[in-house]
Every structure is written in C-alpha cells, then in structure tokens.
Amino acid sequence: MKIVLHNKFTLLLTCLFLIFTQQVKAQSDTLKADKHPKDSSQITTQQGAIYNRPFINLASTGRLSLAIGGYIEGNTNYFVTDGIKEGFSMQLRRTTIFIYSTVARRIKFLSEIEFENGTKEINIEFAALDFEINPALNFRGGIIMSPIGAFNVNHDGPRWEFIDRPLVTTQIIPSTLSEAGFGFHGRFFGHNKVFTYDAYLVNGLQDGIILNAEGRTFLQEGKHPDRFEKDNNGEPSFVSRVAFNHRKFAEVGLSFYGGAYNSYRINGIKVDDRRTLGVYVVDFYSVIKKKLNIKGELVYVNVEIPQSVKPFLGNRQWGGYVDLIYPVLKRTVLKYENTVVNLNLRLEAVDYNVGEFSETGQKIFDEIKAVVGGISIRPSGNTVLRANYRYHWTRDILGNPSVRTAGIQVGFSSYF
Amino acid sequence: MKSKFLLIASIITFIVVACSKIMPPEPDPEAVLAGPVEDLSPQQMANHIKGDEEFSRVFGVSDGLGPIFVAASCESCHAGDGKGHPSTTLTRFGKYNGPTWDPMISEGGPQLQHFSISGYPAEQVPSGIFGMTRLVAPAVTGLGYLEAIEDAAILALADAADANADGISGVPSYIAPPNYFIAKYHHQPVAGKYIGRFGKKAGAIDLTQQTANAYLNDIGITSDFNMQDLYNVQTGNNTGDNVPDPEVSASTVHNVAFYMRTLKLPPRRNAKDAKVLQGEQIFLNIGCGGCHTPTLTTGNSDIAALSNKVIHPYTDLLLHDMGNELNDNYTEGSAQPAEWRTPPLWGIGLTKDSQGGQMFLLHDGRAKTFEEAINYHGGESSGSRTAFQNLTQSEKEALIKFLESL
C-alpha cells in the first residue's frame, strides 16, 4: 500500500514537474513569438486549430493589442407638418462598436459595427486592414467608407453639433456608404500643411438608384446588400478624395465617385445600355479667429438615365450645407470641467431633380430647403448634449406650395 | 458669464414656451383640396388614412412597377389630390374598324405606357391610328359625392333629342361593367351596361373600377381585379416584370377607392363677394349651367356622411358634343370622338396649386387661362362661348372671379 502511495506521490510530482516545465517552455515560446510572431498557417494539430489563434496566444500573455470602443446617440423628436402633429417620440439612433487591433507594426485593423434604431438595421460600416508602406503610401482593403466628401468618413455622432445629419449627406450622398474595395491612402507633410489623398476601387452602387420606391433618382437606394459580395456589373467604381489642410486656416477637400451602376451585363452578356454616375463634392472646414467653426459640403451628381424614363427621373442633383458653430461658454459647469457651450446654425438645401419640364418649360422642383438652429453642450470633448429646432420647406416636383415641417429635438451622443 | 447663462436659458425657454408658435400652422382649409369628408366614423377615418398612404405610395421595380407604365404613384398625377400636370398626361389612341371603335389592344392600346423599367422597351404609338388624345389627370376631391348621385338624377338631366331646344343635348355614357362590378340600388342598366361617370369620356362606372384600372394602366401594378401584368405587345416578347402577381391586393384597391370616396368637397372662397355673385349670375345667364349643372343631390350611400347631400359640382356627368375644337378623334365606351363628359368645375379655382403655379385647363391642359378654355368650347357650348365673347370686360372679369372662387 505504501509502495502504491509512494508511486502515486512520485507520479504526482512527475506530473507537476512536467506541467511546470511545459509552462516555462510555453512562456518562452510566446516571448519568442512576440519577437517573431508564429506563422498562423502552421499548426501542430488540426484539432488545436481553433485555439491556436494569434489573439488567444497574445491575450494569454497580456500582450494583446486590441481596443474596443464605440459611440451611442439618441434623441427625442417632436415634429409638425402643416399643422399635423406627429406627436412626441424617442429614438436611439445608433449604437456603434469599434474594434481596433495593431496586428503588427504598420499593419492595423479597424472595424465599425453599427446598430441603427435598436437592431432594426445592423451594418458593418467599416472593416479594413491598413498596411503602411510609408506615411505617404498605405494600402487599405476590406469594407471601407468611401471618401465622398468629408462627412461620409467623419460621421461619428459625438463629432457633430446637430442631431440630424446634413440632408445632403443622406438625400444626395448615400451616407454612410460602406463598400467592399481596396486602394491607397496617404499624407504628405509640410510646415503647418498636410496634403492627404484617398483612392479606392469599390464594387459601386447598383440599379436601385432609379425606379425605386422613392419615385426619384436616389443614390441611397443603390446600396444593394449584395455589394459586399460581388459587383453587379463586374466593373468597379472609383472613389477618391484629395484634401489640403493648413493648420492655421482651413481644410478643403475635393472628391469624386463614379462608375457604371446598372447591371448592364449578366454573366458577361450585355443586356442593357451601360449607365454611369458621377458624384462631385467640395468640402471645407475652417475656424475663424479661433472661435467660429465653419464647415460644409457642396455636392453635384450626374446620373445617366434610360431614355425610357428620362422625363420622369432627374439626371442631375445637387445639395449642400453650411454649419456655423460658435462657442459661447467654456467653464466648469456642475463640476464638469471645461464644459463648452456652442450656439449653432445650419443652412441646407437639396435639389433632387435639376432641369425643366420639356412639356411646359417650367422648372422642375423636387427640393428641400432647411434651416436648423441649436445649442450644444459638451461636458467633455467626447460627449455632446444637443437641442435643435428644424424648419423645412419641401416642394414637390411641380413646385406647388411648400409643405412646411418644423420640429424640436433634444439628444445626446457620446463616445465610450 | 451670468449674461451668457441668461442668454442660453432665454433661448431654451423661448423654444419651449413658443413651441406652438414656431410650428407651421395648418393651411387655410379653404385653400387646399386635400382632406377628409366631415363626420366620418373613427373606423372610416382609419380606412381613409390607409387609403391615403396607398395613394401616396411610390412603386419601385421591386414592388412591381411596370414593366411599362405612365407614373410610379397615384399622387404623381394627382398632386395634393388636385388636377394633374402636362408632364403626367395619359396618351390614348385607337381607330375605327368600319363603324366600330377599335381600342387597338393587340397593338398596345388604348393607353400608351411611354415609360418602362430598365432593360425593357417602352411603348410607341403604333401606326394606323385614327385618333389620339392626351389627358391631364383630374382632381380627385369630391368624387365620393359624384358616385353617390343616383342614376335617375343623371338621366333627368339628359336631353338626347334636345327637346328643350337650348342647343344642349347631354347623353349618358353606357359602359359594360367589369366582372367584379357590384351594382348599387340606384343603378339603371340598359342592355347590361351601366352609366359611366368617371373619366374624361365617362368610361368608368365607379371608383373601384377607376382605381383598379389606374393601378394597371398607369402604374403597371396588378391587383386581384386585374391579374395579368401589362407588357409591351409590340416588342416586349410577352414578358413582364419579375414580381409575382397580384402586386397589390383587392383590399388595397378598395382602400384607395375609399380614400377617394371620402375626400372632402372642394372648398369655396369669397362665395359672397359681390363680383363673384355677379359672375355666378352671368355664368347661368350665358348658359354655362346647361352642362355645368350647379347643384345636385346625392342619394343614399353606405357612407352616411355622403348620403342625401346637396352639392355644387358644376357637372351633369353627361356626354356633350364639344365640336371640332376639342375633337381629338379618340373615344371610349359609347361616347363619340367629339363628346366629352362635363368636367366638374368645383375646385377649379385651386387648380394652379396642384399644377406648379400655372393653370393647364381642358382635357389636355392646352388652355392656360379661363378665357382661353372658354374660347375652345364648341359644339353644344358654341352659344355660351359666343355669349361670353360678347360680354363686357367687366362682366368677363366677374365670371372669371366666380370661377376662381370655385
């Protein structure tokens, strides 16, 4: 019996020794892997593959370079259209989760997963790898946010002083436009100056741009879910933005998005005329006398329309907005240090259909003009409380008397 | 700092307190055509709202639009429930085979669908037509009241042989009913045909028929009433869209018809104005009221709010020969090419608010002013036209003031 116990004790010691030595070996291997990361394509056993993943190995050593963040924004709505009250409602517009990882030196990954209005709409807005060759030349591939203007790539709620996005960015530019694609971006530095560029090939927008349930040419309807899987016509679209930034004065950007949008060929066989679209954007941002922030975008769209619907759908659109943000207070408020209070004004307009009726020579309207006033309070740089008063004038395609809509919104947005 | 706090607090207070003042008010009810009939029950209001939503629904390709069509929604032709615009006119054509009118169905007739979905051929007007017309969509307000007028009331106004020798000889339009038509208590069929009262040629008996036909022929939307999609019979290879039929249900058609039935009477403005009253008298004196009958009374309706109401539509719902001036050599039903159903004049004073600020009058929108429209009146209305032309300028202005008040 004693022999048995002795043998058991020896066995236990042997096991503990083996486990200890393996752990030391494992730590030693991990440390080595940090210097020369193990090639994840090489696995020791097929069975162990699910746990033999770099982030698990790195996490086990506390060296994982992974960050999770996001932002949330919600608001109340009270709108009246020509005396008809919609009543009071509350809305959780967005809950967005960011996941960031430095995969290796000069290889980065970022994803942005967005839940709109609860779980009504769930989208991957961005999920891309960045390979830095040097600061002036980076390769990016994945689901990217197309750089059409400044807003589409800089749309996080906490960065804006207004609750609603500018009309032109949702009604003309189909923000947020995320697409499968790849390309290059980079920046060149000078004294107080930065020149930046982005240029990508993407699958592009699709047929829904015309003959959709909006009854007008509407780029937002061209965002077919299949665009992440394949190009509808096998011909990528091109998107690019170049910008000049002077640290003391302003940033001005020019963007172009264009390509064939319709499914003019199926399995390589031509079934329709090839039709293209072009989106041209000028965006700007400036701070005057270190106080008044001005930013805005001006957008022009040109869409080729089939002859069979030409009088019915617009082939030209434009829109724009200007935001004026003026800080009136910066002090500790309710123990929130450096609270900033801004008074804000937005002027905006969109014209869905530029042209004249061939039958009468009258101007085609189909446009919205709006003015938004508001106040924003920033108890911290990453959190904003906002109150807006909006007033819209909507004119139908014929230019009949405007439908007037006004509303009061109160909301918040914050990074976390 | 305190002053800044006060400023901000004042702004917030102003916004909250002045909430009702800074919201857009309801437009003057007398200035708009849209709106429901008064005294509808809550359940009827719910149906009216459902119909309103469908009336303004825009159809896209994925909803079944087309493959050939004229418009993508009801509202695109009847903006604000008002009269349509020349950009959304319907083009219709046909020819005679001997004495019989041929709507040329085998060649895409009687209506041209000049728009089409991508990759599909739009229709062209075929060769060999006898006549073609372009039709501006009518206002849709008050139609429920017109539907509730008893056949007997319409027949009482008819005078096919011009027995009273006033030069006006209105006749009813008799239409073969579709298989889903349900006759009402007052209908008086002749040889299986019923009096048509909707459409420029009075080609539809009731609003259900009018609605179902508009879904199919104007938007290319099939329903339980018209199951087969339109296609381009000339070059469409018998193919349609890829959306299963029916693209809308019978309930949807009924809701839209109910919406139109329960739209309010077009409102009057300045009806007691002296100049307007003078114009109204001139209107009657020169014989306009011979066709544009000022007053009718509805019969019993399944919608209580429409029953037994005295209304002022300024129509007799009969066909009249309007002479060569308005003859497009096109017809429907039992109407002759020069015959048109008297269009109701109620709401005509608000026409420009649904036509982009300018009036386009008559069946094809050719007249830009009331005076121009009157001067196109020929045939049975020649006498009234001559009488109008002989009015003094002041009398003409009074008559036009009256029309603007409708």
Q: What is the pLDDT of residues A74-88, one digit of tens each?
A: 999 999 999 999 899
Q: What is the pLDDT of residue B4?
A: 66
Closest by Cβ to B79, choosing from A341, A357, A396: A396
Q: What percent of chain B has pLDDT over 90?
A: 86
Q: Do B11 and A396 touch (CB under 8 A)?
A: no
Q: What is the pLDDT of residues B43-69, one digit of tens each?
A: 999 999 999 999 999 999 999 998 999
CA dist., res. A325 & res. A294, Å (int): 7
How far apart are the two ends of chain B, measured CA to CA in Å? 60
Closest by Cβ to A408, choosing from B7, B15, B25: B15
Q: What percent of chain A has pLDDT over 90?
A: 76
Q: Which of A203-207, A356-360, B101-105 has the lowest mean pLDDT?
A: A356-360
Best of A211, A362, A394 to disrupt the B interface (most B CBs within 10 Å) is: A211
Q: What is the pLDDT of residue A20?
A: 46
Using a CB-CB cut-off of 8 Å, the residues of chain A touching B122 are 307-308
Q: Sorting pLDDT into bands at 50, 70 and 90, what band is A26?
A: very low
pLDDT at A163 > cutoff 80: yes
Chain B residue nearest residue A210, CA to CA: B60
Interval A171-179 mean pLDDT: 95
Q: Sorting pLDDT into bands at 50, 70 and 90, what band is A229?
A: very high
Q: Do B121 and A404 touch (CB under 8 A)?
A: no
CA dist., res. B181 & res. B175, Å (int): 11
CA dist., res. A9 & res. A371, Å (int): 83
Q: What percent of chain A has pLDDT over 70?
A: 90
Q: What is the pLDDT of residues A334-379, one digit of tens each?
A: 999 999 999 999 999 999 999 999 888 889 999 999 999 999 999 9
Using a CB-CB cut-off of 8 Å, the residues of chain B touching A271 are 119
CA dist., res. A388 & res. A161, Å (int): 9
Across chain A, what does the average pLDDT equal? 90
pLDDT at A62 > cutoff 90: no
CA dist., res. A130 & res. A144, Å (int): 11
Q: Do B87 and A404 touch (CB under 8 A)?
A: no
Using a CB-CB cut-off of 8 Å, the residues of chain A touching B353 are 400-401
From residue B180, give the alpha-carbon distance in Å to each of A245, B183, B224, B226, B251: 69, 10, 10, 10, 13
Quote the minimal CA–CA distance from B345 to chain A in Å.
20
Q: What is the pLDDT of residue B96?
A: 94
Chain B residue nearest residue A270, CA to CA: B119
Interval A284-306 mean pLDDT: 95
Chain B residue nearest residue A364, CA to CA: B356
pLDDT at A217 > cutoff 70: yes
Q: What is the pLDDT of residue B6?
A: 77
Quote the minimal CA–CA distance from B358 to chain A in Å.
9
Chain A residue nearest residue B114, CA to CA: A308
Q: Is the dihedral of CA B6, B12, B16, B22 positive or negative?
A: positive
Q: What is the pLDDT of residues A266-279, one digit of tens each?
A: 888 999 999 999 99
Chain A residue nearest residue B22, CA to CA: A406
Q: Do A360 and B60 touch (CB under 8 A)?
A: no
B387 or A63: which leads in pLDDT: B387
Quote the minimal CA–CA distance from A263 to chain B in Å.
9
| Exposed/middle/buried for residue B176 (C-beta within 10 Å: 0-12, 13-18, 19+) | middle
Q: How many CB pairs below 8 A link A and B?
A: 129
Q: Do B118 and A405 touch (CB under 8 A)?
A: no
Chain B residue nearest residue A262, CA to CA: B118
Written as six digits, the tokens of B211 are: 């609605």
Closest by Cβ to B73, choosing from A215, A343, A405: A215
Chain B residue nearest residue A265, CA to CA: B119
Q: What is the pLDDT of residue A21?
A: 46
Q: Sorting pLDDT into bands at 50, 70 and 90, what band is A164?
A: very high
Q: What is the pLDDT of residue A307?
A: 84
Query: What is the predicted ipTM?
Result: 0.89
Q: Do A400 and B79 touch (CB under 8 A)?
A: yes
Q: What is the pLDDT of residue A59?
A: 84
pLDDT at A126 > cutoff 80: yes
Interval B240-269 mean pLDDT: 95
Contact B30, B346 (CB under 8 A): no
Q: What is the pLDDT of residue B392?
A: 97
Across chain B, what does the average pLDDT equal? 93
Q: Sorting pLDDT into bands at 50, 70 and 90, what band is A3?
A: very low
Could you give the angle at which helices B42-56 and B250-261 cross, rounded to 10 degrees?
110
Contact A202, A179 (CB under 8 A): yes
Q: Do A360 and B358 touch (CB under 8 A)?
A: yes
Tell me which H or E stretch contains B319: strand B319-321
Using a CB-CB cut-off of 8 Å, the residues of chain B touching A210 are 118
Task: Give the pairing type, strands B194-196 and B173-175.
Answer: antiparallel
Written as six digits, the tokens of B312 are: 């002022």
Closest by Cβ to B19, choosing from A212, A307, A408: A408
Q: Do B356 and A80 touch (CB under 8 A)?
A: no
Q: What is the pLDDT of residues A30-50, one digit of tens each?
A: 444 445 556 766 667 788 888
Gyration radius from chain B CA atoms? 23
What type of residue sits at position A6? H
Using a CB-CB cut-off of 8 Å, the residues of chain A touching B12 are 375, 387
What type of residue sits at position B4? K
pLDDT at B19 > cutoff 70: no
Q: What is the pLDDT of residue A8?
A: 55
Using a CB-CB cut-off of 8 Å, the residues of chain B touching A362 are 356, 358
Quote the minimal CA–CA distance from A61 to chain B in Å.
52
Q: What is the pLDDT of residue A331?
A: 93
Nearest of A408, A151, A397 to residue A281 by alpha carbon:
A151
pLDDT at A17 > cutoff 70: no
pLDDT at A16 > cutoff 60: no
Q: Do B118 and A212 touch (CB under 8 A)?
A: no
Nearest of A133, A126, A246, A259 to residue A195 by alpha carbon:
A246
How far apart are the two ends of chain A, measured CA to CA in Å? 63
pLDDT at B1 > cutoff 80: no
Q: Do A308 and B116 touch (CB under 8 A)?
A: yes
Neighbouring CB atoms inside 10 A of A89's CB total 10
pLDDT at A305 > cutoff 90: yes
**Max CA distance (Å), chain A:** 111
Q: What is the pLDDT of residues A375-401, one digit of tens each?
A: 999 999 999 999 999 999 999 999 999
Q: What is the pLDDT of residue A322?
A: 98
Tokens 């290889």 locate to A107
